[in-house]
Amino acid sequence: MKLVLYSSLLLSLPVFAQTNLPSLIPQPQSVVMGAGQFTITTQTQLAVLTPIREVRDMVQTNLPGLKINDLAKPANNITVRLAQPGGAALGPEGYELVVSSTGIRLTAPQAVGLFYGLQTLRQLLPADRERPGFRFNNTLNTKALTTLPALTIRDQPRFGWRGMMLDVSRSFFTKDYVKRFIDLMARYKYNVFHWHLSDDQGWRVEIKGLPRLTQVGAWRAPRMGRWWDRPNPVPGEPQTYGGFYTQNEIREVVRYAQERHIMVVPEIDMPGHMLAAIATYPSLTCSGKPVPIYPNGKFYKVEDNTLNPCNDSTYIFVDKVLTEIAQLFPGPYIHVGGDEAFKGFWATCEACKPIMATNGLKTVEELQSYFIRRVEKIVQSKGKKLIGWDEILEGGLAPNATVMSWRGMKGGTEAAKQGHPVIMTPYQNCYVDLYQGDPSAEPSTYGMCRLTNSYAFEPVPDSVRAELILGGQANLWTESVPTTRHAEYMVWPRAFAIAEVLWSPKATRNWPDFVRRVETHFTRFDAAGVNYSRSYLNPFV
C-alpha cells in the first residue's frame, strides 16, 4: 500500500512540474523558463515601435482592447519591435518573445516574425482569449488569469512551406468559412492555403471570359451520404447543390490570407478531375459526349472526365482560365493537379494518333507529360510556377515543375533526386479526410490516418538533398465531409500534429507532451466554438 502511494506520488511530481510549462503548438525552437511572472492589467500599455500600419493592425487584432501608447515605459509594458534580436541571427520568419516581471518584449527582424510571435503570445493567454468578441478591458476582472510565467522564447520554423489544402469542389464552403479556416491555420503558423477550386463535382471560381463554367459547372444534384455508394444523377433532376466564388470574393480571401502571412495557391485540376468543366463544354474531351456532373466520386474510368490533350482548343481553354487565375492570385504558384487522369480514354482517341506520332510519344504516360509540359509553358507565360501532384512524374517531369507527393513519399523522393522542389503530403500521414479512429465509431470515410501517424510524419527522406523539400501540408478532401462542423472534426487535432512537424525542430518532438498540449488547445477551441475530434484517445489498434 505504502509502496503504491509513494510511487504514485513520485510519478505525479513531474506531471505537476510540467503544468507550469506553456502549452504551445507548434512547440518553439527553444523555451527557457525564467523567474517571476507578469500580469496584464488595464494599465498595461502597448508600445509598437514601428510606424508600419500592418504591424500595428496585427498587434491590435491579436491583443484587442489594450491601448497603443508607443512609449517603451520601464514597466507594465508590452513592447513590439521590428529588429534583429541579440544572439544568433534569426531567419526571416523568426522572433524572440521575452516575458519578465516588468513586461513583455517581442522582437523580430520582419513583420512576419512579429506575427508568429503574436500567435505564440496569444497561446500563452488563457483560453478565454479565444471567446468571440474578447477584449482585454472587459475581461480583466479575471485578472489572475492573465498572469504569464517569465520566459524567453526564440523561435523559427523548420520548413518554409507549411500548408493546408481545402477541397471546395466536392463540398462547397462559403467565403466566410474559408476565412475562418485560414484564421485557424494562422493560429498554428501555417503559411500556405492550397485552395482546390475545381474538380469533377463542381467548378468554384468565376472566370469572366467563360461565364458558363460557374453558371453550369458550379451546380449539381443535391446528394449527400457516402461517396462510394451514392446513385448517379437522374437525367432532368434539378441541379441545386453548389456555389462558387466571385472574383471579388476571391480577392477578399486572398487579402485576408495575406494579412495573416498566408500565401494562397489556387489549384485547377487537369487533365483529369475535369468533369465539371466538361459538363459545361463537352468538346473538351476526346469523345465530345455530353455528360452531367456526377455528385459522387465513383464515375472514375466510367465517364470521361479527362481533357483531350491532342486538341489545340483544350490549350486555348486552359490559357483563358489560367490568365484570370494568374491575375487573381498574386502568389508565385499555380497548381494544375495532374492526379488520377484516366489515360484509357486517350488510348482510343483519334485526335491523339497523329499528335503522338509527330511528337514521338509512345505511351499515354508520355502523352500526359506532353500535356503538362504545354501547360507549364502557359503557366510560365503568366509569370507563375507550376505545381502538380506526383503523377506528373509519369512520362517525364516538366522542366521547372514542383511536385506535391501524395501517394506516399516515393514520388517526392524521385522528383528531388531529379533536382525538383517537393512538397511532401503522403496520405498515410497528411490526409485528414481519412479515419482517425475506430471506423465503427467514426463518420463514414475510408483508409486510416491516426493522430500518431500525423505526428510521426517526417518530410525529409534520408536519400535526398534536404533543401529541395520545401515542406509539407495537411489535405482535406471533402467527398465525405459535407459540413463545416464535420470539416473541423476531421482537421483538428491532426493539423496540430502536422503544424508541429513542419515548424518545430525534429528533436523537440515528444508525443506525451504533445498530447498534454493538444488537450489545452481543445479548451481553447471550446472557447472559440471550433469543433475537433477526441478519437485519438481510443486506442483501438
Q: Which residue is associated with the grid cell 509598437? A: 48
Pick the closer one to ligand TNX by CB: 96 or 376. 376
Pick the closer one to ligand TNX by CB: 198 or 504. 198
Pick the closer one to ligand TNX by CB: 204 or 509. 204
Conformation bin of residue 360: beta by default, left when phi > 0, alpha when psi is -120 to 50: left
CB of 50 to ligand TNX, least distance (A): 42
The H-or-E segment that residue 166 falls in is strand 161-167
Pick the closer one to ligand TNX by CB: 189 or 196. 196
SS3 (DSSP) at 348: coil
Annotated active-site residue in 54, 249, 252, 340: 340
Give 91-125 as a DSSP string.
-TT-EEEEEETTEEEEEESSHHHHHHHHHHHHHHS
Residue 523 φ then ψ, to 5°: -60, -40
Pick the closer one to ligand TNX by CB: 165 or 250. 165
- Extract the C-alpha cell encoding 372: 503538362
Q: Rounded to a whole number, what is the distance in angstroms from the first to the last CA of the chain?
A: 33
CB 412 within 8 A of CB 405: yes
Q: How far apart are CA 449 and CA 541, in angstroms?
A: 12
Pick the closer one to ligand TNX by CB: 209 or 447. 447
Pick the closer one to ligand TNX by CB: 120 or 201. 201
Structure letter (DSSP) for residue 189: T
- Extract the C-alpha cell encoding 275: 468533369
CB of 408 to ligand TNX, least distance (A): 11
Pairing verdict, β 30-39 and 147-155: antiparallel
Q: How far apart are CA 109 and CA 86, in angstroms?
A: 11
CB of 56 to ligand TNX, least distance (A): 41
Pick the closer one to ligand TNX by CB: 124 or 432. 432
Q: How far apart are CA 117 and CA 41, in angstroms?
A: 20
Give me the half-sphere count of Cα atoms (radius 13 Å) on the Cβ side of residue 379. Answer: 28
What Å distances lie between residue 51 and 46, 104, 374, CA to CA? 13, 19, 46
Is the torsion defined by CA of 414, 416, 419, 420 positive or negative?
A: positive
Q: How far apart are CA 501 and CA 341, in angstroms?
A: 31
Pick the closer one to ligand TNX by CB: 315 or 446. 446
Residues 6 or more apart whose Cβ sits within 8 Å of residue 112: 92, 93, 261
Residue 84 φ then ψ, to 5°: -80, 120
CB of 28 to ligand TNX, least distance (A): 32
Query: Which residues make up the interface to ligand TNX (CB under 6 A)?
Result: 273, 339-340, 389, 406, 431, 433, 477, 479
The yes-or-no answer on residue 340 being catalytic is yes
Q: How far apart are CA 379 and CA 358, in angstroms?
A: 24
CB 256 within 8 A of CB 237: no
What Å distances lie between residue 137 and 42, 64, 66, 76, 523, CA to CA? 6, 8, 7, 15, 22
Active site amino acids: 340
